[in-house]
């Protein structure tokens, strides 16, 4: 199979450019408004690691002061926790944050210097080198976490299940790299949905090449990064994170709210209520703006849905608030 790039599929038309710009502005609003303070955890982690790299470039975890050792582990693990990587199904939940000591060694490795706060010009002028280093640093992180994954998989309660002792999720790898080096967007559920599968099975040289082509062939990314408020890859991450959220919730909006159809299970009810909270803040007293970026919801129709199922929605809202479900 040829790996030749289809250049046309990477071009973003003006409508989509505006969509991406709006998505980035929306993400920044959420961070600055304090709507969800977890949006700020990336900045805290990245700024710490940027200073750490400048101070200890080419050294190892053992060369750090005791204070910097503790802060490096705490910043990374808290950032990962705030972005969903310590859920019950995650193997890192079974360990303390000392498992990231060797990951810090990778991050401080001088051969990856070009990847720090990766910018548009660096990608354009050194695409092949950047691609190879991105693949290498991903494999390096995976290698240093695989023994913990392997031990986790060997536990008796996993017997009989599909086990891959070498497998570290691309979500974990890319979130680590986004929060520290900031050289790649986090390949999570919403990023995948926003790209519509173009980058599925993401972390290999062909898919990385696709991502870099997408960036350098569309001026919108260069323009958005000119503000210097965020590194380029964080901007890419913000854009596709919000676009992915919108695609996910738009399904429930169209299927249930616009048809006044009652969801058939609690899990679907939960997603519909979250949809309402995301795109129509009548259920969120702390918000003063709509966050949708591509479609205008029919507020009269939303009112009808809320009024029709008021008692059910109220109970879901209370349950979500009390249980953080």
Please give the C-alpha separations between residue 122 and each of 118, 125, 133, 304, in angstroms, as whole numbers.
Answer: 7, 5, 13, 52
Q: Are 183 and 129 in contact (CB under 8 A)?
A: no
DSSP state of 61: G
pLDDT of res. 1: 40
Q: Which residues contact 69 (CB under 8 A, 6 or more apart)?
A: 61, 101
pLDDT of res. 188: 84
Q: Which of 230, 288, 307 is nearest to 42 (CA)?
A: 230
Q: Which of 27, 48, 24 is nearest to 180 (CA)?
A: 48
Walk along the chain (325 residues) and give the pLDDT tens digit of each residue. Answer: 445 555 556 778 777 888 888 888 877 777 776 555 677 899 999 999 999 999 999 999 999 999 999 999 999 999 999 998 988 778 888 899 999 999 999 999 999 999 999 999 999 999 999 999 999 999 999 999 988 887 777 764 555 444 554 568 888 999 999 999 999 999 888 887 777 655 556 666 688 888 899 899 988 998 888 877 899 999 999 888 878 877 877 888 889 989 999 999 999 998 888 777 766 545 555 544 455 555 566 778 888 998 999 999 888 888 877 665 5
Q: Which of 109, 132, 4 is nearest to 52 (CA)?
A: 109
The tokens describing 60, both together, are: 């190892």
pLDDT of res. 71: 98
Please give the C-alpha separations between residue 252 and each of 88, 263, 267, 309, in angstroms, as whole numbers.
Answer: 26, 9, 12, 15
CA distance 278 to 287: 10
Backbone angles phi, psi at 285, to 5 degrees: -70, -15
How far from chain centre, in Å, is Cα 19? 18
Q: Are 218 and 17 in contact (CB under 8 A)?
A: yes
Please give the C-alpha separations between residue 303 and each of 258, 280, 292, in angstroms, as whole numbers.
Answer: 11, 10, 17
The tokens describing 12, both together, are: 């973003």
Q: List Cβ<8 Å contacts ≥24 apart for 300-305.
A: 301/257, 301/258, 301/260, 302/257, 302/276, 304/260, 305/256, 305/257, 305/260, 305/276
The four Cα atoms 168, 170, 172, 178 give a dihedral, to 10 degrees, of 140
pLDDT of res. 157: 52
Which residue ranges make up each domain of the chain? 13-245, 258-323
The tokens describing 311, both together, are: 């008692």
Please give the C-alpha separations between residue 293 and each of 27, 115, 186, 244, in angstroms, as whole numbers.
Answer: 10, 30, 20, 11
Please give the C-alpha separations between residue 105 and each of 45, 94, 112, 168, 305, in angstroms, as whole numbers.
Answer: 16, 22, 11, 18, 53
């Amino acid at each position: 199979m040829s790996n030749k790039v289809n250049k046309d599929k990477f071009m973003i038309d003006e409508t989509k450019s505006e969509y991406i710009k709006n998505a980035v502005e929306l993400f920044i609003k959420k961070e600055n408004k304090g709507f969800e303070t977890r949006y700020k955890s990336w900045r805290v982690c990245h700024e710490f690691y940027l200073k750490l790299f400048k101070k200890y470039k080419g050294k190892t975890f053992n060369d750090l002061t005791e204070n910097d050792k503790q802060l490096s582990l705490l910043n990374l693990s808290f950032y990962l926790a705030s972005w969903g990587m310590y859920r019950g199904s995650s193997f890192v939940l079974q360990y303390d944050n000392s498992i990231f000591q060797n990951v810090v060694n990778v991050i401080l490795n001088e051969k990856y210097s070009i990847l720090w706060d990766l910018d548009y010009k660096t990608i354009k002028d050194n695409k092949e080198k950047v691609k190879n280093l991105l693949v290498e640093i991903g494999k390096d992180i995976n290698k240093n976490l695989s023994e913990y994954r392997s031990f986790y998989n060997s536990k008796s309660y996993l017997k009989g299940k599909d086990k891959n002792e070498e497998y570290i999720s691309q979500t974990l790898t890319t979130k680590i790299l986004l929060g520290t080096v900031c050289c790649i967007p986090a390949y999570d559920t919403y990023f995948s949905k926003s790209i519509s599968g173009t980058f599925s099975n993401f972390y290999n040289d062909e898919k990385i090449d696709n991502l870099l082509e997408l960036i350098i062939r569309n001026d919108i990314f260069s323009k958005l990064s000119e503000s210097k408020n965020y590194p380029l890859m964080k901007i890419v991450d913000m854009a596709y994170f919000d676009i992915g959220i919108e695609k996910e919730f738009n399904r429930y909006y169209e299927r249930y709210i616009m048809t006044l159809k009652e969801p058939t299970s609690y899990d679907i009810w939960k997603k519909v209520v979250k949809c309402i909270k995301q795109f129509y803040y009548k259920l969120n007293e702390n918000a003063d703006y709509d966050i949708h970026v591509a479609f205008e919801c029919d507020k009269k129709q939303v009112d009808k849905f809320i009024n029709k199922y008021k008692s059910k929605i109220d109970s879901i809202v209370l349950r979500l608030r009390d249980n953080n479900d």
